[in-house]
Amino acid sequence: MDKKTLATVTPDIREAYQQALRLSKESERLLALKDLVNQEPGFVEARRKLRDLERRKVMATPAISRFFARLGAPAGKIKSLTQTVPLKAMALCEDTLVKTLDNPPILELLADAAERAGAPFISAEAMERASELRPLELRYMLLMAAYLQKAGRAEEAMKRLHAVAVNHPDNKEVQVAYRNAINADAKQRELAKTTGMASVDQGGGSNAMGSRAAAILQLLENTIHDAAQAKLVVVELLKVLATGESLDVRRKLASAYNIMGEYDKAIEEIRKVIAATAAYDPTLDKRLEEAEIGKIDKEIGMIKRRPPKDLADPDARIAELELEREQLKLDHALSRIAHYPNDIGLVFDLGRLRLERGEYDLAIEQFMTSRTSAANEVPSRLSLAECYEKMGNYPKAVDELETVLSILPRLDKDRLKTAYSLARIMEVTGKPDKAIELYRGLLEMEPRFRDAAARLKALEESGAPPAAEAQPEQPAQQ
């Protein structure tokens, strides 16, 4: 089973995904994404969104309710289906997990079924969820590492096992798994290098999926980190293109060119895909933007390192390029909104861009819209608070941050930065007692979060309000 991204799924799947994200009720969005994952199991973005929603549901559910939600799980039926029709077994697992993700045995059955369906990347993800839910049960971490290696991601398995091996020096099973991951990583790196070079030396010979070139691409899909690896992939992709046109191959080729810093070639490939695509695709537009910005950043970097002799004013040219980059970002964001005005994700993205440009009033308009979506409510409110704080409107910033704290489950990672931001505002507005309370609660969850400990100590020792209130930033001229 191949991985599918938003750029490579069929248009009807892509549209169903966008419709699912636009659903206002989180329960409806959860079921819609579950159905979509059952329809296209390899669709990684949909799987990721589904798991995020399932995690939020679990964190908001009492332990006793999770227990009852696990009752009646059809483990026996899933096991029997795994042997003959693993895709049906996977779908049955998803139907069960949507009730509660806190079901490690079903996650383990999903991993087994996914492996039989040729999708070890799904197996690894399932065991990652299980290890998060049961961190003291090392078997889930070990299973995850084994599946990561089968998915060609031994380096990640090695990194995951490192901390476990350090913390459990006497656990032979852990130490053996760690050594195996190290060896697998070395073998995968060598295989990628030698197989790729052999293919380059021999030339020709690649045609359809299942060919040697396709096998190399599958191996390198998640391990392209530098230009040298990207060059090997480009060689194989060009061989595949020589046998027939493929928009998916051109997308991958553009990504490889981006990693190599060959931005003109990346732009050329993306534009070919756009020209051959019937409907406007915001994902392709984002890829084009990425390549165009990469080209500008590359020129800026070259000027900073060694200005061309014929360039009279390097600083002026850099400033010109930076303005061009910011305008390019805005033009692309506005274009995407023009095509998909109801896509809340794009509305939020435009708001973030406006915020970065200092256009706080315009950013607030975007975030007021995007916060109506459950999926975007928290980041939108955090962004609104950031706008209000920069404008000096501290009461509204406090309102947004307190609302976020009331929404988020106690163990949600976003609570840390939200509480920290609120505590900083309390300091600025002369409310040290409230700031102390927030810092103490924050440090109970994460004792080393940023400089919270130092700030708390300073407040407790001084017993006095902080220095004069900070001056708000002036909004950019519209």
The sign of the dihedral angle between the CA atoms of 162, 411, 419, 453 is negative
Q: Residue 366: what pLDDT?
A: 96
| Dihedral over alpha carbons 77, 83, 85, 89 (to 10 degrees) | 40
pLDDT-based confidence at 379, cuts 50/70/90? very high
**Distance, CA of 240 to CA of 343 (rounded, Å):** 35
As given in the structure block, the two tokens for residue 326 are: 């910011």
Mean predicted lDDT score pLDDT of the chain: 84
Per-residue pLDDT reduced to its tens digit, 422-458? 999 999 999 999 999 999 988 988 888 889 999 999 9
- Check: pTM over 0.75? Answer yes or no: no
| Dihedral over alpha carbons 140, 144, 145, 148 (to 10 degrees) | 170
pLDDT-based confidence at 466, cuts 50/70/90? very low
Q: Residue 194: what pLDDT?
A: 55
**Distance, CA of 332 to CA of 324 (rounded, Å):** 12
Read off the pLDDT of each residue in 154-177 and give the average, rounded to a whole number. 85
Quickly count: other Cβ atoms within 10 Å of residue 32's Cβ.
Answer: 20
Q: What SS3 string covers 344-384?
A: HHHHHHHHHHHHHCCCHHHHHHHHHHHCCCCCCHHHHHHHH
**Distance, CA of 209 to CA of 255 (rounded, Å):** 19
